[in-house]
Amino acid sequence: MNKQNTLTLVETLLIDYANGTLPLALEVLVETHISMNPASAKEIRMLLQLGGALLENSEPISLSEGSFEKLMAEIESGFDNDQEIYTNVSNDNNLLPFPLRNYVQDISRPKNWKRIGIGLSEQTINFGDNFGSTKLYKIAPGYSVPSHSHDGNEVTLVLSGGFTDEYGTYGPGDISIQETGAVHKPVADEDGECIVLAVNEGSIVLTGPVGRLLNMLIK
């Protein structure tokens, strides 16, 4: 997909993030993206401020009677014990952007990667819902992901390194979007390993001759 369309879709992703309608996988992808991309962070900041302003401007409608007293009773009963909200982020994955760390198995351990081709491995991330599939891909320098199409939209975020496909060149923090049916062959930059986070609404269909073989292996 060309850069302009991608830009448009990224803008839509950011709006959906601000209004809270994204599935968890995409929500985490967008959080990771904004932690790496100041322009998108600024956009989200604006969208949340806009939400605040719309909230502030809303015509007040009373809550049912006694709501405040009910709330205070709940708070005072100790039910507001907030221990559960202190979770520690894993010490693993220090190299990954912070919003992603707790969802990913330690990427420094080879056992957490599954080799799916020459110079190509993957780690499946489970977000505990039934939404599409989310994977980390690790591509060795200069290697490529076999040419493949998508039977659902796919959003890819570069975490480290970079890649080039038919549509452009992508570096850390960049998002590439492949719409259903789009075919592309990403090649990792020569100067380092490339790690990407890919969220796919459907599943990926490999299209090349080797790819078709891989399709069978992946399933």
Stretch that binds other proteins, among 86-94, 112-120, 140-148, 180-188 (CB under 8 A): 86-94
Q: Would you say 129 and 23 are in contact if contact means Cβ atoms under 8 Å apart? A: yes
User: Restricting to residues 12-51, which ones interact with other proteins according to CB under 8 A?
Assistant: 12, 15, 18-21, 24, 27, 31, 34-35, 38, 41-51
Q: Would you say 35 and 171 are in contact if contact means Cβ atoms under 8 Å apart? A: no
> Least distance in Å: CB of 47 to other proteins?
7
- What does the alpha-carbon distance between residue 34 and residue 149 come to, in Å, rounded to a whole number? 27
Query: Is residue 57 a contact point for other proteins (CB under 8 A)?
Result: yes
Query: Is residue 61 a contact point for other proteins (CB under 8 A)?
Result: yes
Which residue of 4, 110, 129, 216 would you call a contact of other proteins, by CB under 8 A? Answer: 129
Q: Would you say 36 and 69 are in contact if contact means Cβ atoms under 8 Å apart? A: no
Query: Is residue 5 a contact point for other proteins (CB under 8 A)?
Result: no
Toward other proteins, which CB reaches closer, 9 or 140? 9
Sign of the C-alpha dihedral, residues 99, 103, 106, 108?
Answer: negative
Determine how β-strand 114-117 pairs with β-strand 120-125: antiparallel
Q: CB within 8 A of 105, min separation 6: which ones?
A: 92, 112, 123
Rule CB under 8 A: which residues touch other proteins? Answer: 8, 11-12, 15, 18-21, 24, 27, 31, 34-35, 38, 41-64, 67-68, 70-72, 74-75, 80, 82, 84-89, 98-99, 101-102, 128-129
